[in-house]
Structure 1
Amino acid sequence: MSELTIKPAVDLLAMLQQRSISSFELAQEHVREIERLDPLLHAFADFDPDRVLRAARQADQQSHTRSSPLLGLPMTVKSSIATAGHRCEIGSILNRGFIPEEDALVVQRMRQAGAVLLGTTNCPEFLMAYETDNLLYGATVNPWSLGHSAGGSSGGEAAAIAAGISAGGIGSDSGGSVREPAHFTGICSLKPTPGRIPGKGHLPPCVGPFSMLGAVGPMARTVRDVSLFFQILSGQDIADPAGALVSLRPIADERLRSQPIAVLEDDGFIPVTIETRNAVRSAVIALEERGFQIRPFQSRMLEEARLLWWKFFIRCGRMLLEPLIQGRETELSATFRYFLDTARSEPLLSGEELIEAWTRCDQVRARLLEELSPYSVLLSPVCSIPAFRHGEREWFVEGCKVEYFSAMRFTQWFNLLAAPAAVVPVGRSPEGLPIGVQIASLPYRDEVVLAVAEMLDQDFGYQVPPTACHPNSLPR
């Protein structure tokens, strides 16, 4: 294991700025770790060591003439975010070999800040799964256990960051896709308010209902790193209809404590494992010891919010994606087929039903936002369960059968709300798998979410997974 590559990104940047290590040396360490571990993890979709080392040499040359906030830091990008010169196939044979000519705006900002791009990372086909598996690169393995999923759809990013083969990166999230993989692999992530980090260049485009549901978000081993990436990559894209001119707003400690924190252990519909419940309770105790007031949260709107998310993500998602796969359904992966089978079990949305859902969406969002307004943040589980075994689609929790999409409901509410939500690792399952806690708030309160998340990260936080230490003895 390289002790260097598991350090927080902020520490690596300090070493680069102090010239205690060069960009080239840091890139070499990451290349060695990628070559050692990625044949096991399948985290990368595109990795060229020679290109990485050339970029690192250029960063060293630039270090004498300019100061950039990410100069020399080795980072990754989910392969659904356009990255010029790199394969961005969205996990589909239908897009095999696709290489964008232009960067997504967020990748432009990452490069302008001086990051060294290690490559693009694996994702499920067309992003419509909570497990990263496809016919191009196979299943991405959880660094904590070979037999378990790293999550999806930003599973390649999560696995690479957790295993110490990327210092941090960029994922995307329309139903939990940066948060669930972070929870599964023991890292941190943020689904920001849509538009605070530009979505231009995401593949497929975040349009229609996905302009509200979807967001591009940072992933890293610590919340300090996530916050740094958010600061550097955020800022309005004037051509983004979902964008908003919201400047960065540091949060004073006394302001954080001016409102109580709400907590939700489950929603009354779907149970969570006892270890998941205990992780939320551990987070509550830690924040109470820091002087926060904690209040239980209840709402009758959560199930309706989830059902509305379902209409937009599952049923509208089917309508948007079916034209892309027409005539080529025999070439689709099992994960995408599961999504299609689920979506096709219901009739196509009519225009009348869609308008009714859109109208009701605003009413439900208004009610939920009003209910959340007395609180600074809401603590909740990320999922009902920790990482599941590859291919699993249902589980028994507290004697109840829990289906795949229902188990992930705790993230879906905040996509419908277009609200920020972060994940921090807090607990462990009986098998030793990570369990994260979700910290969410009202739209545009991203900095509040990150401030509370950083406190929990200081009390709990990232631990090195077995892969990075002894990959040959990883549990199966």
Structure 2
Amino acid sequence: MDTELIYSDATKLAELIRTREVSPVEVMKAHLDRIEAVNPKVNAIVTIADDALKSAEKAEASVQRGDELGPLHGVPFTAKDSIDTAMVRTQRGTPIFRGRTPDTDATSVARLKKAGGILLAKTNLPEFSYGIESDNLLTGRTNNPWNLSLTPGGSSGGESAAIAAGMSPLGLGTDLAISVRGPAAHTGIVSLKGTHGRVPMTGIWPREPRRLWHVGPMARSIRDLSLAFAQLAGPDGQDGYSSSAIPFDNGIGSSNKRPLRVGWLVEPGFGPIDREVAATVKAAAEALKDYGHTVESVRIPALERDFALDVFSRLHVLEMKPGFVETTAGRSEDEVSYMARFMLSLPDTPAVEYIEAVQAAERLRDGYAEYFQRYDVLLTPVLPTPSFSHGQGELLINGQAVNILGIMSATSPLNVTGLPGISMRFGTSHDEMPIGVQIVGNWQAESTILHVASLLEQASPLRDMHPNL
């Protein structure tokens, strides 16, 4: 197995293929060998694309002919199993959709393929993409490559675990309240939830409520996020929320040299935050000072008035529950997981509470808008604590018991408001688990947060660390 290939980022692999230092077939075989070696322990990959190797052979032929090559030519990528992939099973983590095989690709998959990427495999998730752990009745539980007794998070936990373990260099995940950023922090990789609507949700299930859902890249490096996002962003004429055609600047060039105004926030507004996590956020903020940026501790009053996770919960229960009812109608208990049963057991949000939640969401958007009048970037935790054991019902944070759903306290504000955020590792816990920071930007300011993330990546000695599997 070629260790250099399985831990290279997608940008490097594309360069090696373009310069003929390595072939797409060699790259594909290295990742298939890695899957065979470690997936039985991790259970991140649930389906391998039957034509992955044949597609690599075609990509190799293109290189030999001297064809014009896309920016991801010959590079394998994976996709969460809620994202449609033509002629490759997309089972959505449930026996209800066992064997389901779409005829067409989701827009996001099609765009990575157009850039030359080759679909390698599908990755695990909770049933219906609904859960903070990637476990379901059809394809089982995914483990964290750093410690198999801990979770890689959810709902894109299979994707994060596959990339962290060297089974994939690049992937697609979806995010309703935490699901690309949380798993990235659990496993020490990077991910981007762009501004709402920047990447179409076409071909991804569930689609409702789309005003809270996002799809985004997960990778090994910030430059990979930038490269992938440049391919993914833009309207497709099918997703009505995907209407922004604003040009995307990858943020990692010379055009971002002006000093930035950076605020960092741990508490209040997100509930209790583990001390090691808080120290990591502060360390990231301090690191930016060395690049000449203005950095200071901040507060956002809107987050203190309206707890975003509560706002999210009141909104999405009423909006998502009908879909759960329809999908599970007439199904036996052995076909429906505990998370779906939990969702079905929840009372509908009364109309007056729902309207108040909508108004609270608007207050949160206004609060962030006011913040970004004075600052360019916000640094926060991704998760209130490092990764935890499978099946936990609550977390103990600084001596305070917190319901396990509190893991979404710092990520859900960006789903309620639609703002973009990057998750990246910048620390390590006392028990050697990754700790991430979240880099938040103003509406459609992906270029700015990618620039800041690239600076933190340079300042961090952790980006070349890999699990010992």
TM-score normalised to structure 1 length: 0.92
SS in 1 for 2:135: coil
Residue 432 of structure 1 and its aligned partner are, at CA, apart by 0.3
Residue 257 of structure 1 and its aligned partner are, at CA, apart by 4.1
Q: Deviations over 1:184-206 (max 9, x none)?
A: 0000000011221111111112x
Amino acid at match of 1:313: H
Q: Unpaired runs of 5+ in structure 1?
A: 472-476
Give the RMSD, CA atoms, in angstroms. Answer: 1.9
Structure 2 residue aligned with 1:395: 395
Amino acid at match of 1:306: L
Structure 1 residue aligned with 2:211: 212
Structure 2 residue aligned with 1:429: 429
Residue 52 of structure 1 and its aligned partner are, at CA, apart by 1.6
Bigger mean CA offset, 288-297 vs 153-162: 288-297
Amino acid at match of 1:320: G
Residue 9 of structure 1 and its aligned partner are, at CA, apart by 1.3
Q: Deviations over 1:73-127 (max 9, x none)?
A: 0110111111111111110111111111110111111111111111111110011
- Aligned partners of 2:186 and 2:386 also within 8 Å: yes
1:126 matched to 2:131: no
- Pairing of 1:213-362 with structure 2 (within 5 A): 213-243=212-242, 244-251=244-251, 257-267=258-268, 270-302=271-303, 303-328=306-331, 330-332=333-335, 334=337, 336-337=339-340, 340-341=341-342, 344-345=345-346, 347-362=347-362
Structure 2 residue aligned with 1:382: 382
For residues 195 and 113 of structure 1, what CA distance do their matches in structure 2 show?
20
Residue 334 of structure 1 and its aligned partner are, at CA, apart by 4.6
For residues 438 and 43 of structure 1, what CA distance do their matches in structure 2 show?
24
For this pair of structures, how many residues does the alignment match?
461
For residues 193 and 73 of structure 2, what CA distance do their matches in structure 1 show?
24
For residues 397 and 360 of structure 1, what CA distance do their matches in structure 2 show?
27
Structure 1 residue aligned with 2:446: 446
Q: 1:298 to 1:379 in 2, by over 3 A?
A: same
For residues 446 and 269 of structure 1, what CA distance do their matches in structure 2 show?
23
TM-score normalised to structure 2 length: 0.94
Residue 321 of structure 1 and its aligned partner are, at CA, apart by 1.6
Amino acid at match of 1:398: N
Residue 270 of structure 1 and its aligned partner are, at CA, apart by 2.0
SS in 2 for 1:438: strand
For residues 425 and 154 of structure 1, what CA distance do their matches in structure 2 show?
17
SS in 1 for 2:138: coil
Q: 1:26 to 1:86 in 2, by over 3 A?
A: same
Residue 254 of structure 1 and its aligned partner are, at CA, apart by 6.9
Q: 1:357 to 1:329 in 2, by over 3 A?
A: farther
Structure 2 residue aligned with 1:153: 155
- Aligned partners of 2:127 and 2:337 also within 8 Å: no
Residue 304 of structure 1 and its aligned partner are, at CA, apart by 3.6
Residue 335 of structure 1 and its aligned partner are, at CA, apart by 5.0
Q: 1:171 to 1:256 in 2, by over 3 A?
A: farther
For residues 246 and 321 of structure 1, what CA distance do their matches in structure 2 show?
35
SS in 1 for 2:7: coil
Amino acid at match of 1:331: D
Structure 2 residue aligned with 1:165: 167
For residues 433 and 344 of structure 2, what CA distance do their matches in structure 1 show?
31
- Aligned partners of 2:24 and 2:56 also within 8 Å: yes
Q: 1:440 to 1:137 in 2, by over 3 A?
A: same
Residue 329 of structure 1 and its aligned partner are, at CA, apart by 5.1
For residues 23 and 360 of structure 1, what CA distance do their matches in structure 2 show?
50
- Aligned partners of 2:250 and 2:450 also within 8 Å: no
Q: Unpaired runs of 5+ in structure 2?
A: none
Q: 1:278 to 1:335 in 2, by over 3 A?
A: farther
Amino acid at match of 2:220: R
Q: Identical aligned pairs, as a percentage?
A: 34
Higher relative contact order (CA 8 A, sep 6+): 1
1:98 matched to 2:100: yes
For residues 274 and 20 of structure 1, what CA distance do their matches in structure 2 show?
46
- Aligned partners of 2:428 and 2:435 also within 8 Å: yes
Bigger mean CA offset, 258-267 vs 219-228: 258-267
- Aligned partners of 2:269 and 2:307 also within 8 Å: no
- Aligned partners of 2:159 and 2:172 also within 8 Å: yes
Residue 223 of structure 1 and its aligned partner are, at CA, apart by 0.6
- Aligned partners of 2:386 and 2:434 also within 8 Å: yes
Residue 445 of structure 1 and its aligned partner are, at CA, apart by 0.7
Residue 462 of structure 1 and its aligned partner are, at CA, apart by 2.5
Residue 300 of structure 1 and its aligned partner are, at CA, apart by 2.9
Q: 1:250 to 1:182 in 2, by over 3 A?
A: closer
For residues 419 and 271 of structure 1, what CA distance do their matches in structure 2 show?
22
